[in-house]
Amino acid sequence: MSYKAIITKNTFLTTKLLEYLAGNPTVSKDIPSGVSYVVFSVDDTKLNEYNSKLVEQLKEDGKKVVEAIETKNQKNPWKLNYISA
Amino acid sequence: MKKRKHSILKTNDECSDSTFQASFDEVKKDEYFLSSQDRITVIFGVKKSKIEGIINVSYEIYISKKWITILRFDSAHEYLHRHTRISLDNPDTTVENFSVIQKGKPKDWLIWARKYMNKYFYECKVGFCRRSKISIIDLL
């Protein structure tokens, strides 16, 4: 997968996530400020492979990471997995 | 045709208006990684559990071993406006509100700024590289 394809897909998914979080502030109320979100697609395994490596890299850098996993559930379209450094 | 207005501002990578930031109950900062070299940082002010101000929505790239903001929006002075960094060597930004949403509430502005970045981030990166006289290929 090309670099441009990765960032285009990630920017689309992160906007979807931000839109959801902005509209549902209680969903992220237990997540502290200053975290790094990495998104995982419901159906794009290649993108998810790349993003798994990105999570590992961010953890190595000492970042507090949230894996935002897209789901097929319309009521809860994202599962947030907070990994503290 | 509407005349395009912009100004040059010597600025930090984030909105530095401390009075603006202090006007909120809470300030929340999140980073959204697009790749190991690209990220979006969102900083917003919350009052009574509602988003009441956009302190920063920025597109940043990793270059020369540091993160550099090349495009950002903030709503200091109570309207949303865009800052575009001139080049790698010149950290000043051009500031404009041309074609920037002015209606709605800060939450709408946040989503709008993010969608704007969806549409223009790559173009913005290419323009920044051209102004900085670096090849975008060198960043990959």
What is the H or E stretch that residue A17 is in? Answer: helix A3-23
**Once rounded to an integer, what is the mean pLDDT over residues A11-20?**
92
**Once rounded to an integer, what is the mean pLDDT over residues A24-39?**
88
pLDDT of residue B69: 95
Q: Residue ranges of the domains in chain A?
A: 3-83
Half-sphere exposure of A49 (CA within 13 A, CB side): 4
Q: What is the mean pLDDT of chain A?
A: 92
Residue A81 scores a pLDDT above 90: yes
Burial of B19 (0-12, 13-18, 19+ CB in 10 A): exposed
Chain B residues touching residue A14 (CB < 8 angstroms): 32, 34, 40, 114
**Quick check: A3 and B35 CB within 8 A?**
yes
Angle at B139 between CA B64 and CA B123, to 5 degrees: 115
Please state, in angstroms and rounded to a whole number, the distance separating the CA atoms of residues B134 and B38: 16
Q: What is the largest CA-CA distance in chain B?
A: 46
Reference B106, options B63, B64, B58, B45; nearest CA is B45
**Quick check: A18 and B115 CB within 8 A?**
no
pLDDT band for A46, please (50, 70, 90 cuts): very high
Please state, in angstroms and rounded to a whole number, the distance separating the CA atoms of residues B5 and B100: 12
ipTM (interface pTM) = 0.92
- Per-residue pLDDT of chain B (140 residues), as tens digits, is 445 555 666 555 565 567 777 777 888 899 999 999 999 999 988 888 778 888 889 999 998 889 999 999 988 877 888 999 999 999 999 998 888 888 888 888 888 898 898 888 888 999 999 999 988 766 65
CA of B26: which chain A residue's CA is closest? A33
pLDDT of residue B1: 46
Higher pLDDT, B23 or A74: A74
CA of A18: which chain B residue's CA is closest? B111
